[in-house]
Structure 1
Amino acid sequence: MNYEEYKKAVEELNRYAYHYYVEDNPITTDEVYDKLYHEVLEYEENNPYQVLDNSPTQRVGDVVSEGFHKAVHKSRMWSLEDVFNEEDLKKWLARVFKLDDRAAFYCEPKYDGASLNLYYEGGKLVQAITRGDGVTGEDITQNARTIKTIPLRIDYMEPIEIRGEVVIFKSEFEKINEERAKNGENIFANPRNAAAGSLRQLDSSITANRNLVFLPYGVGQNTLDIPLLSKKMEFIYSLGFKTPPHRATCKWLLDIEKVYEQMKNDRDSYEMMLDGMVVKVDQVESQESMGYTVKYPRWAVAYKFPAVEKITTVKDIILQVGRSGVITPVAVVEPTNIDGVVVERATLHNFDEIQRKDIRIKDKVIILRSGDVIPKIIKVLEHERAGDEAEVMRPTECPVCGSELLDEGALIKCQNLTCKARVVNSIIYFASKQCLNIDGLGDKIVKALFDSGVVKSVEDIFSLTLDKLLALEGFKEKKSQNLLDAIENVKGCDCWRLINALGIEHIGEVASKSLCENFGLNFIDASKEQIISIDGIGEEMAESVVEFVRVNKEHILRLIEILDPKVPEPKAEAKENPFKAKTIVLTGSMSQSRTEIKEMLESLGAKVSGSVSKKTDMVIYGDDAGSKYDKAVELGVQTLTEDEMRGMLDE
């Protein structure tokens, strides 16, 4: 074989691969493909400097990375607004038609996988970046080159970003899990997790063996002069990319609903997992004029499929002990696949719910899973009872330490402050981001320190030494020193962080700041009446503080001595502004950290709360706003984007 024959052979192999992997329509046999592949491989071994970068031999992953580097997208990758029913869709369409009454729509599947951005320049795949936060992701180009549905070269020379979802087909997912089970490895929960995990393997040979599939759904930076998104995507597919199982252009609500119903009804027959349908304005010019909110494009929406309900059996009710000693029951159910996720547990909240729904062990129940929300039992199928179902008794002893429980009706508590579950969860909470923010002191480390006997209480954290840590399994010198430095750095923290870290029931960040601003470290001597006088603190909260201090005063004084917290200077009265004396909730990702925005609002005299209620005056939201935004809309609370907030400040 000479060089010209080699080039033709590479071209022929890529043609075979395209028909096999992209078109699902093989045009040759495995025998013919393998014979030609090995001839190409032999030529490349003898002529290593003539290897073409689009040769199929270059897709075999053999690189092990030390880690992935961060990379910036040429243009931002946006998240999408979710709608869940026809009414929501009507509202979105009304907003779109206000901006352009001639808008038409392009509908395509919403794949359930891992988003990936491909950048081509001069027709070559230059870079592949995960979605990340939409601005910056991880450069996984080497892994992307192993995915056979990603062309290494395209017949388009201008720079272009092609966005899509990396998925694992259902059949391949089953094979992978069977193999992992045989090898004694943990099986993947669903194809989405398998795809995301496979895409980010440091060893690219693992990615190569997982048969990932790339499905384009849009473009980022580009110079394509094509007026319609639907036509633009046709051009993208013509470059050698896999087409979706179904897509359509629509003009009216009824047309969109018809496509949605068909896609929803057919989704089980598709090779890949779907969790909805994406509806986008088809005219590119209209997209550009509509623009974006801080959260999502105004011209696109994700029309999610309805939550899935399944029947399963309650195998057991287990008890979890939280840091405050509250016992939470959790239902263990027969493993049940709900839309690609194997569900084995369901939330029960408390024993009153068990009693109200009359949930018994061995009951057949309907469980509901919606999105990433923890599944819950919505109905007991009493007519299915065989007579051997066991009622769930209210516990009288702690499942962890065996001490007597305090039954307050809705809540059942372990009062033993030395109970392992309480201590471990208290330390985890103490070190968490919203409290002392001790970097490196996560769940697993805390449990390891407790089980070894090195740490038995929160105060023991501050007596850790390098020698103590190095004596433990899995603790290397650098990791240990970093942890010790992080612990040392929290000394001199703000007063409110210590109060919040104590884990006083009903007292969160907002209340901790109020206590700190009104009493400083003297909150330990404040009476119930004095605490109730603080705006926003009620009788139950005040009782909680007073009772906690009564039981734990020595513990608090030792922590004050160790940490020497900073007490804030009295605040000057804020000038009049739109946010003064308002209760505000922040949600979603913003241009600054929420902590910085919170501090700015508090300096304006606002009270920033962590939860939405009827007393909330405003919810200010950024990208990926979730349930807090939804609750604000439900309660009729005023909602503002970050830009709108800043506009009010400028005025």
Structure 2
Amino acid sequence: MDKNDYLKAVDRLNLWAKAYYTDDSPIASDDEYDKLYNAVVQFEKENPDLKLSYSPTNRIGGEVLDEFKKISHIAKMWSMEDIFSDSELVAWILRGDKTDCEFFAEPKFDGASLNLLYENGNLISAATRGDGSVGEDVTNNAKVISSVPLQIDYKDKIEIRGEVVISKDDFELINSERSKNSEPPLANPRNAAAGSLRQLDNSIVKQRKLKFYPWGVGENSLKFNKHSQIMDFVRSLGFLRDDFCKVIKGIDELKIAYKELLSARELKPILMDGMVIRVNDLSKANQLGYTVKFPKFMVAYKFPATEKTAKLIDILLQVGRTGVVTPVGLLDGVLIDGAFVKNVTLHNFDEIDRLNLMKNDFVTVIRSGDVIPKITGVFKDRRDGTQSEIIRPKICPECGNELLDEGVFIKCQNLTCKARVVSSIIYFASKKCMNIDGLGDAIVELLYQKNIIKDIADIYRLDELSFIGLEGFKTKKISNLLLAIDNSKTPNLDKFITSLGIEHIGEVAAKKIAKNYGDKWLELTIEELLSLDGFGEAMALSYLEFMRVNLEKIKELLEFITPKIQNLELKTNIFSGKTVVITGTLSRSRDEFKAQLESYGATISNSVSKKTDFVLYGNEAGSKLEKANKLGVRTIDESEYESLK
């Protein structure tokens, strides 16, 4: 094979691969492909300087990275507004005078968004969505996805956006293999796709059989007038196309299309969670523009949550960092939206009483998106005498100590209980507390199991030798973790108090203690605590009892940590002294909004009542928003919140 033969062979292999993977109509036998492929491999071994960037051999996999670099998108990757009913669809169309618009509708695949950058026809980079402006560089992983072309017939710079997904069948095969290898199953196809994209070893990515479906473009110099024309062009470059992509005019046609797609939900090989609707005319879309959070010219009409029937086999007990024992329902197993659900949250034993739940009951299970599945009803008429009462526990399932039953909450009071210790360390290291990057749940569990750390203070005794023999800990990972630990040694005092995990003492309470008493925080009296605005007896007693029981452990921690006493003057505005409930999906994390509101002196509540002053709501706001409207509580969306603060 000479250079010309090689160039032709690469083109032929890419054509055959497109026909097989993208068009689903093979034009060469496996034997033909393998022979030509092996000839190309041999030529590239002998002539490494002549190897083409778009050669199919670049999809082999096997490159292992230490970490992902950050990469900026040229054009921002926006989130989408969600709607859930025909009435919300009508309201969206009426906003911005979209009544006479032509729309482009397509499935909303439930996967992980990816941004591909091509220059001079070659794939230059691939990045996750990240925060919309900056994502993670997963180029090596994208290159082993067969439906991502390494080269396209378009020379200008262009960002092609789409969804990385795993088919339902491939997802089941992956979990079947994991089960054979005694590995835990992947949660659902969406998490599997997102997790696969973030694998440092791209040979694992290749095994996962990921697919890439384009849904739009970012940076581009295309001259089309309609989004549908852009998508036809993109798919002509060798990308996958779903058979449900429609140009539609009018509300009635949109409703019909939505029902059609919803009815095909179970039949589709790829998991869907709704239908994307966008204004097809690009000049009209540009005229509509954007809100702070999402485009005004497109919306995701989400499918309703999926309900299934399952049998409750048993109740598992989980112990948290404060010792609270939480019941978790164990089901016989049911497939919901591609996820095999065996565990459901039950919150507390009052919830079990409210549902009148018994072991061996048939129950209704609901799951919406990534929300933890929960039981919403019981089929009492299907009870056959095999049911048994769920007894409130008296002994801790982790350490065997006697539990304290306080009514709603049942607690383990043993401070050395393994579950409490591990949860406390995880909480201490979390982003909203000491923010020790790299010390996540799995690593804490591993270090505890290996007896490397037994309490919080042991975090600060870690060194390079601590990780000898631990799989997955390379030099760079260890040095990054140790650096993060070192950087956490001078936290603000309020952060340190918060990180201790004192029951009833959250970020706002910790700020008030730090602001008012500074370095006296270890020696406070009940009178001093009760003098603080918003402090009740339960909070004061909880703080004092924690200090009494854990004083020596805190002093041990302070041998490594020097908290900074800051001037924590609270900013005042309309939210100062008010009670706020946050619900729905917002443009930033709920913790960020919570921290900001608390800095204004607001109290954050988890439930809506007549005493609530504001409900800040985002997409998918449910019962809390409805209750607020019924009670006449003031409700504000994110844009109104920004104007009030």
Q: Is residue 2:505 matched to residue 1:510?
A: no
Does the C-alpha gap of structure 1 residues 518 and 65 become closer, same or farther in structure 2, counting only changes over 3 Å?
Answer: closer
Question: 2:83: which partner in 1?
Answer: 83
Alignment of 1:246-285 (within 5 A): 246-285=244-283
The answer to whether the 8 A contact 2:463-2:482 is kept is yes
Quick check: 11-20 or 501-510, which moved more? 11-20
Match of 1:94? 94
1:611–1:628 Cα contact (<8 Å) kept: no
Deviations 1:195-240 (A, max 9, x none): 3344344443443444332211001011111111112211211222
CA distance, structure 1, for counterparts of residue 477 and residue 139 of structure 2: 30
Match of 2:331 in 1: 333
Quote the Cα distance in structure 2 between the aligned partners of 1:482 and 1:10: 41
Alignment of 1:177-576 (within 5 A): 177-448=175-446, 450-451=448-449, 456-459=454-457, 464=461, 466=463, 469=466, 489-522=487-520, 526=524, 528=526, 530-549=528-547, 551-552=549-550, 563-569=561-567, 571=569
Q: Tell me by how many angstroms 1:448 deviates.
A: 5.0
Shift of 1:466: 4.5
1:72-116 superposed Cα distances (whole Å, 9 cap, x missing partner): 11111112122222233233223242xx55433211111122221
**Aligned residue identity for 2:88:** D
Contact 1:494 1:565 in 2 (8 A): yes
Q: Deviations over 1:230-289 (max 9, x none)?
A: 122112112222211201122322211111111111122222221211111111112222
State how far apart, in whole Å, the 2-side matches of 1:358 and 1:385 are.
12
Moved more, 631-640 or 493-502: 631-640
Deviations 1:549-572 (A, max 9, x none): 45555655665676453444484x
Is the alpha carbon distance of 1:559 and 1:34 closer, same or farther for their aligned partners in structure 2, counting shifts above 3 Å? Answer: closer
Aligned pairs (5 A) from 1:64-143: 64-97=64-97, 100-143=98-141
> For residues 299-346 of structure 1, what are the alpha-carbon distances to aligned partners after superposition, in whole Å with 9 as ceiling and x for unaligned?
111111111112222222111112222111111112221111111111
Task: Give CA deviations for 1:418-469 in whole Å, capped at 9, x if unaligned.
Answer: 333223323332333323334454434544555566655445555x364984
Cα gap change, 1:595 to 1:53, in 2 (>3 Å): same
User: Retained in 2: the 8 A contact 1:65–1:203?
Assistant: yes
Mark the CA change 1:62 to 1:557 in structure 2 (over 3 Å): closer, same or farther: closer
Question: In 2, are the aligned partners of 1:361 and 1:392 still within 8 Å (CA)?
Answer: yes
Q: CA 1:476–1:144 in structure 2 vs 1: closer, same or farther (change >3 Å)?
A: closer
For the structure 1 residues 570 and 8, does the alpha-carbon distance in structure 2 shift closer, same or farther, using more than 3 Å as the test? closer
Residue 36 of structure 1, CA deviation: 4.7
How far residue 528 of structure 1 moved from its aligned partner, in angstroms, is: 4.6
Gaps of 5+ in 1: none
Range with greater deviation from structure 2 (503-512 or 628-637): 628-637
Distance 1:229 1:194, change over 3 A: same
User: What is the rounded CA distance, in whole Å, between the counterparts of 1:9 and 1:472 in structure 2?
Assistant: 46
Q: Which amino acid aligns with 2:15?
A: R
Over residues 475-526 of structure 1, what are the superposed CA-to-partner deviations in whole Å (9 max), with x where a residue is unaligned? 8888777666655554453332233233222221012212332333545655
Residues 39 and 415 (structure 1), Cα distance of their counterparts in 2 relative to 1, 3 Å cut: closer
| Residues 29, 403 of structure 1: alpha-carbon distance in 2 compared, 3 angstrom cutoff | closer
Give the distance between the partners of 2:84 and 2:70, measured in 1 at CA: 34
What is the count of residue pairs matched by the alignment?
636
Q: What amino acid sits opposite 1:26 in the alignment?
A: P
Q: Which moved more, 1:338-347 or 1:310-319?
A: 310-319
TM-score, structure 2 as length reference = 0.86
Compute the displacement of 1:532 (Å). Answer: 4.0
- Contact 1:619/1:638, CA 8 A, preserved across alignment: yes
- The match for 1:176 is 174
1:607 is matched with 602
1:230 aligned partner, one-letter code = S
Q: Distance in 1 between matches of 2:448 and 2:46?
A: 59
Counterparts in 2 of 1:648 and 1:629: CA distance versus 1, 3 Å = farther
> SS at 1:335's partner residue?
strand
Task: Determine the C-alpha separation between the residues in 1 that align with 2:242 and 2:447.
Answer: 50
Q: Corresponding residue for 1:639?
A: 636
Query: What's the % identity of the aligned pairs?
Result: 47
- Matching residue of 2:18: 18
Kindly provide the amino acid, as one letter, of the partner of residue 417 in structure 1. L
- Match for 1:270: what amino acid? K
Give the Cα–Cα distance (whole angstroms) in 2 for the partners of residues 187 and 367 of structure 1.
20
Q: Partners of 1:2 and 1:481 in 2: how far apart?
A: 48
Task: Give the conservation status (yes or no) of the 8 Å contact 2:101–2:250.
Answer: no
- Find the residue that maps to 2:154 and give its secondary structure: coil
**Distance of aligned partners of 1:256 and 1:32 in 2 relative to their CA distance in 1, 3 Å threshold:** same
Instruction: Judge which range, 450-459 or 141-150, deviates more.
Output: 450-459
**More off after superposition, 391-400 vs 558-567:** 558-567
Q: Secondary structure at the match of 2:61?
A: coil
After TM superposition, give the deviation of residue 632 of structure 1 in Å.
5.9
Which residue identity does 1:341 align to in structure 2? Answer: A
| Deviation of the 1:126 alpha carbon | 2.3
Describe the shift of the 1:313–1:434 C-alpha distance in structure 2 as closer, same or farther (beyond 3 A).
same
Name which of structure 1's ranges 408-417 and 491-500 shifts more when overlaid on structure 2: 491-500
Q: TM-score, normalised by structure 1?
A: 0.85
1:118, CA displacement in angstroms?
1.4
Offset of 1:134 from its aligned partner?
A: 1.8
Per the alignment, do residues 33 and 283 of structure 1 end up closer, same or farther by CA in structure 2, a change over 3 Å counting? same
Which residue does 1:30 correspond to in 2? Answer: 30
Q: In the superposition, relative to structure 1, how do residues 389 and 147 fare at CA in structure 2: closer, same or farther (>3 Å)?
A: same
Structure 2: distance between partners of 1:476 and 1:16? 40
- Report the secondary structure of 1:268's partner residue: coil
**Counterpart Cα distance in 1 of 2:433 and 2:156:** 50
| Partners of 2:108 and 2:273 within 8 A in 1 | yes
Distance 2:487 2:55 in 1: 53
CA distance in 2, matches of 1:70, 1:173: 28
- Kept in 2, the 8 Å contact 1:155–1:239? The answer is yes
8 Å Cα contact 1:83/1:89 also seen in 2:
yes
The one-letter amino acid paired with 2:93 is L
Q: Point out the more displaced range, 393-402 or 216-225.
A: 393-402
Structure 2 SS opposite 1:90:
helix
Change (3 A) 1:596 1:489: farther
Tell me, what secondary structure is at the counterpart of 1:249?
strand
Q: Measured at CA, do residues 306 and 648 of structure 1 come closer, stay the same or move farther in structure 2, by a change above 3 Å? A: closer
Runs of 5+ in structure 2 lacking a partner?
none
